[in-house]
Structure 1
Amino acid sequence: MTSTAAFDALPRPDAVAALVAVCSSVTWADRVAAGRPYGDLDSLLAAADAALADLDDLTGPLAGHPRIGERVHSGSSAKEQAGMAGASEQVRAAMAEGNAEYERRFGHVYLVCASGRTADELLAVLQDRLGNTAEEEAARTRSELAAINRLRLTGLIVQDR
């Protein structure tokens, strides 16, 4: 964790490395790092959203996210998916089946901002999203990725006091 001022002052390779830990897209990280200095968290978050909106392909960012319900033992995803820790075997099986169906339908991992959600909520969201069109789901995936990036960036930055 660092302040916005400290993040702004990082050498570019270090800033990119910190950002790749937030979102696995090197293109996104490079664009966000190039926009420094930001001066405050809100400006950094706005730049992160803009850089994500400019990405044509979400393959890179999605590659950094494990399936919801897979046992993740460390890192941001483990904390964010904490609601799955107490899931019943029935919910885990339904999540695995839903993940497989989602990937067949949409061609990528089911992505949702899981932080603070229970296993039952995550499963319900997945089942609901299986009814989306490809266009609706592309927009929703981008929105969920933006929310995850914002959550992780906020965790990275400690506001100057």
Structure 2
Amino acid sequence: MLMHQGLGLETFNDLPRRKAVHALYECCCSVAWASRVADGRGYRSRAELFSTADAELAELSDRGIDSLASTLPEPGKVCAAMDSNTRAALGTAARAYEERFGFPYVASVMFGPEGFEPREILVDLGHRLDNDDRTERKVMRNELAEINHIRLDRLLGPEGGWPPY
């Protein structure tokens, strides 16, 4: 759960740097990324913010990306309503993935507002286990960028932000 939600772009741009870094850190769990994105304010549009967020994510080292990925929940631990067999299958597949690539499985679909089907994650894990290391590294970075977009959308809320109460 993000602490900062529905700020609107204008309010986000006007935050003191420390608060902007904190809000961005909630989106990505990287102080380096959050600092650089905060330093790029005033953004004229969401697209400009997202573009900067993507560019700064691309600048992070593989080690930084792996650290960021390790902060995300495992697929089998995302939904409490999952039955034990499904939870076990997701856990086994996620461990096989991490053993194969050396970094945790990341899927943006687990963070969307509509939720996800565990079977969809199992199928995706199976397909991605067939990737070579370089391809999977790129896929994982793209998934992290999409998670950032989802979380930045929540941070900003609707166009113009939520009305103050």
TM-score tier (shorter): 0.7 to 0.9
Consecutive aligned runs of 4 or more in structure 1 exceeding 6 Å deviation: none
Distance 1:157 1:89 in 2: 36
2:116 aligns with 117
Alignment partner of 2:38 out of 33, 39, 53: 33
Amino acid at match of 1:63: S
- State, as a whole percentage, how many aligned pairs show the same letter: 38
Alignment length (residue pairs): 149
Q: Contact conserved, 1:8 with 1:39, CA < 8 A, in 2?
A: no
Query: 1:140 Cα shift?
Result: 0.4
Q: Contact conserved, 2:66 with 2:104, CA < 8 A, in 1?
A: no
2:130 aligns with 131
Distance 1:45 1:85 in 2: 31
Amino acid at match of 2:74: R
* Structure 1 SS opposite 2:75: coil
1:106 aligns with 101
1:74 aligns with none
Alignment partner of 2:66 out of 55, 59, 72: 59
CA displacement, residues 7-60 of structure 1 (integer Å, 9 cap, x when unaligned)? 001111110100110001111111100100102211111111111111123123
- Segments of structure 2 that go 5 or more residues without pairing to the other structure are none
TM, length-normalised to structure 2? 0.84
- Segments of structure 1 that go 5 or more residues without pairing to the other structure are 71-80
Amino acid at match of 2:121: L
